[in-house]
C-alpha cells in the first residue's frame, strides 16, 4: 500500500493540506449536502467550495464543473444505497422475514439519507441526463433487482408468496411508499394537517408500509 500524502501529513501532525484525495472527498461531501438542500440548479459552487474548505478552482480541477460534480455525487449516492442493499443478506432469512427486512431497510435508508431523494428528484427534473452517462448504476441496479427476484422465487417455492409478482413492480412499490412520504414531508404535513415527521407518525408509517407489502406478496 502506497503511502499517501494524507498519511504523511497525518504522521507529521499537520493539518490536512495539499492532499488531493482529502480535498476531493471534502468537496464531494460538501457538494452532496448543497445539492441535496437546493437541487442542482439552486446549489451554488461558491458555497460548496466554502463548505469544503477548498478553493473554488479545485472544483473545476477535480470535477470539471458543476454538472460533472453533480453527476459524481449522484453516482456516489446510488452506489451508497446499492451497497447497503447488498449487505442485507436476505438469503440468510426466511422469505417473509427477508421481505419485511427489505421494506424496513428501504424506509430507514430514505429516512437517514433524505439527500438521496433530493438528488434523484433533481436528476429527474433534468430528465436523467447525468445518469444516462453512468454505466455503473445500471449494473448494480440489475444486481439488486436480481436479488429481489430470487427472494420472490424462494418464497413462491416455499409456498409463502403468491406467484406471478414482477420484481420490478414490487421494487417500485416498496420504494414508492417510503420515498413519497419522505420527499413530500413538507407539503404533506400541511395538506394532511399532521406532522409527518413526528416519531409516532414515522413508526405508524413503517408498519403500514410493511403491511401493504406483505398483503400484496404473501399467499
Partner DNA sequence: CATGAATGAGGATTCATTCAT
Partner DNA sequence: GATGAATGAATCCTCATTCAT
Residue 23 or 72 with smaller CB distance to DNA: 23
The site partner of 23 among DNA, a copy of itself, none (C-beta below 5 to 8 Å per kind) is DNA
The site partner of 94 among DNA, a copy of itself, none (C-beta below 5 to 8 Å per kind) is none
Please give the residue ranges that form the binding site for DNA (CB under 7 A): 2, 4-6, 8-9, 12, 14, 16-20, 22-23, 43-46, 54-58, 60-61, 65-67
Q: Which helix (H) or strand (E) holds 70?
A: helix 66-86
3-state secondary structure of 23: helix
Please give the residue ranges that form the binding site for a copy of itself (CB under 8 A): 38-39, 41-42, 78, 118, 120-121, 123-125, 127-128, 131-132, 137-138, 141-142, 145, 166, 168-169, 171-173, 175-177, 179-181, 183-194, 204-205, 208-209, 211-212, 215-216
Residue 92 or 193 with smaller CB distance to a copy of itself: 193
The rounded distance, in Å, linking the Cα atoms of 142 and 5 is: 37
Least spacing, CB of residue 11 vs a copy of itself, in Å: 22
The rounded distance, in Å, linking the Cα atoms of 150 and 90 is: 10
The rounded distance, in Å, linking the Cα atoms of 179 and 29 is: 22
Q: Which three cell numbers stand for residue 134?
A: 453512468
Least spacing, CB of residue 13 vs a copy of itself, in Å: 27
The rounded distance, in Å, linking the Cα atoms of 100 and 137 is: 25
The site partner of 19 among a copy of itself, DNA, none (C-beta below 5 to 8 Å per kind) is DNA
Closest by alpha carbon to 106, among 217, 206, 3, 21? 206
Least spacing, CB of residue 55 vs a copy of itself, in Å: 15
The site partner of 142 among DNA, a copy of itself, none (C-beta below 5 to 8 Å per kind) is a copy of itself
Distance of CA 38 to the CA centre of its chain: 17
Q: Which three cell numbers stand for residue 95?
A: 422469505
Angle CA 111–80–116, to nearest 5: 45
Angle CA 103–106–107, to nearest 5: 85
Closest by alpha carbon to 116, among 145, 57, 76, 150? 76
Least spacing, CB of residue 25 vs DNA, in Å: 11
Least spacing, CB of residue 92 vs a copy of itself, in Å: 26
Residue 19 or 123 with smaller CB distance to a copy of itself: 123
Least spacing, CB of residue 125 vs DNA, in Å: 15
Amino acid at each position: 500500500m502506497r503511502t499517501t500524502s494524507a498519511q504523511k501529513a497525518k504522521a507529521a501532525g499537520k493539518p490536512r493540506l495539499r492532499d488531493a484525495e482529502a480535498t476531493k472527498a471534502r468537496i464531494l461531501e460538501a457538494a452532496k449536502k448543497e445539492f441535496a438542500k437546493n437541487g442542482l440548479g439552486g446549489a451554488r459552487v461558491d458555497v460548496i467550495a466554502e463548505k469544503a474548505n477548498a478553493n473554488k478552482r479545485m472544483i473545476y480541477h477535480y470535477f470539471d464543473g458543476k454538472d460533472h460534480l453533480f453527476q459524481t455525487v449522484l453516482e456516489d449516492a446510488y452506489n451508497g444505497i446499492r451497497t447497503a442493499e447488498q449487505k442485507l443478506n436476505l438469503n440468510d432469512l426466511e422469505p417473509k422475514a427477508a421481505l419485511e427486512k427489505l421494506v424496513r431497510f428501504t424506509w430507514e435508508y430514505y429516512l437517514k439519507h433524505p439527500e438521496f431523494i433530493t438528488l434523484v428528484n433533481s436528476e429527474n427534473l433534468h430528465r436523467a441526463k447525468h445518469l444516462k452517462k453512468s454505466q455503473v448504476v445500471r449494473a448494480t441496479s440489475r444486481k439488486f433487482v436480481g436479488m429481489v427476484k430470487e427472494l420472490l422465487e424462494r418464497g413462491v417455492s416455499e409456498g409463502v408468496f403468491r406467484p406471478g409478482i414482477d420484481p420490478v413492480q414490487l421494487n417500485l412499490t416498496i420504494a414508492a411508499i417510503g420515498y413519497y412520504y419522505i420527499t413530500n414531508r413538507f407539503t404533506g404535513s400541511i395538506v394532511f394537517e399532521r406532522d409527518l415527521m413526528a416519531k409516532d407518525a414515522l413508526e405508524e408509517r413503517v408498519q403500514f408500509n410493511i403491511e401493504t407489502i406483505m398483503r400484496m406478496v404473501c399467499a
